[in-house]
Amino acid sequence: MPSDACSQQLSCEALKAPRFPILTFDDSQPDRPLGRGFRIDWLMPGESLVSILWKFACANALPGDALMRLMCPDADPLEGMIPLRSALDLNHLRRLLRLPVNVLRTSLLDRSPGDRYHATFRYCRQCAAHGYHSVLHQLAEEDRCAAHRLELRTRCPQCRRQSPFMINSSVIEAPFRCVWCRSHFCYGLLPVRSTTQAMRRQDRHCLQDRLLLRLGSDASGGSNG
Question: Could you tell me which residues are beta bridge partners of residue 120?
Answer: 164
Of 47, 88, 49, 63, whose CA–CA distance to 12 is shortest?
63
Q: Which is nearer to Zn ion, 93 or 127 (CB)?
A: 127
Choose between 100 and 191: whose C-beta lies nearer to Zn ion: 191
CA distance 10 to 60: 15
Helix-strand-coil percent breakdown of the chain, rounded to 5? 35, 10, 55
- Name the residue nearer to Zn ion (CB basis): 72 or 190: 190
Which region among 44-52, 56-64, 88-96, 156-164 touches Zn ion (by CB under 5 A)?
156-164
Site for Zn ion contains 93 (CB under 5 A)? no
Measured from the CB of residue 40, what is the shortest distance to Zn ion in angstroms? 21
**Collapsed DSSP state (helix, strand, coil) of residue 45:** coil
Residue 181 within binding range of Zn ion, rule CB under 5 A: yes
| 88-97 CB contacts, 8 Å cutoff, 24+ apart | 88/49, 93/49, 96/34, 96/35, 96/70, 96/71, 97/35, 97/38, 97/52, 97/56
Q: Does 177 bind Zn ion (CB under 5 A)?
A: no
* 3-class SS of residue 112: coil
Binding mask 105-134 for Zn ion (x = CB under 5 A): -------------------x-xx-------
Contact region for Zn ion (CB under 5 A) — 43-51, 102-110, 137-145, 212-220?
137-145
Q: Is 145 in the site for Zn ion (CB under 5 A)?
A: yes
> Residues in the site for Zn ion, rule: CB under 5 A?
124, 126-127, 145, 147-148, 156, 158-159, 178, 180-181, 183
